[in-house]
Amino acid sequence: MTISSLLTPELVLPAIRAQAKAEVLETLAAHVGRAHPHVDARRLADALHERERQSATALENGVAIPHVRLAALPGPLAALARSPTGISCGALDGRPTQLFLLLIVCAEQPGSDLKLLATAARLLSDARCRARLLEAPSAVELLAALNEHEERTHRNGRTA
């Protein structure tokens, strides 16, 4: 399963206007709730805030991968947001976070998030991928850039 296969243009926000991490989480939850009516956006937002209270999901290089497990999901879900100016999220390197990749997996399938998280972290640790995601002018082009980098990573992994 690829990250880009979980996304649609409606779930890619190329210029989120949030000023704080809490606003980003609320916005992402609302978008997922609109795109997937079976997901309770309020429950998702609450789970995201609780997860962030336990441990921040901001990584280095302007990337955060907020992730939660929700009960009764038919499969994993994702959303992607970009903040043009960046938001302070407590990243280890102190840099503002510009790329937010939300991952949601089914609580009844323990461990299902680990492979998805590893894939996301590997993908977003690639400086070329991050640069393309930061430069893409639209949701469709953001998604295309992500898909292209996933395919390249998959091809390179298979031939290695």
CATH of the domain at 62: 3.40.930.10
Long-range pairs for 120-125 at CB < 8 Å and ≥24 separation?
120/3, 120/65, 121/59, 121/65, 122/153, 123/3, 123/149, 123/150, 123/153, 124/59, 124/61, 124/63, 124/65, 124/99, 125/61, 125/63
| Full domain range(s) for residue 100 | 4-159
The pTM of the whole model exceeds 0.85: yes
pLDDT value at position 63? 97
**With a cut of 70, which residues of the chain have pLDDT below it?**
112, 157-160
pLDDT of amino acid 107? 85
**Number of domains, the chain:** 1
In tens, the pLDDT along 79-120 reads: 999 999 999 999 989 999 999 999 999 888 777 678 888 889
CA-CA-CA-CA dihedral for 5, 10, 11, 17, to nearest 10: 150
> Where in the sequence numbering do the catalytic residues fall?
67
pLDDT of residue 140: 96
Strands 67-70 and 12-13: unpaired
In this prediction, residue 114 carries a pLDDT of: 81
Q: How far apart are CA 143 and CA 14, in angstroms?
A: 10
Residue 152 tokens read as 């390249």
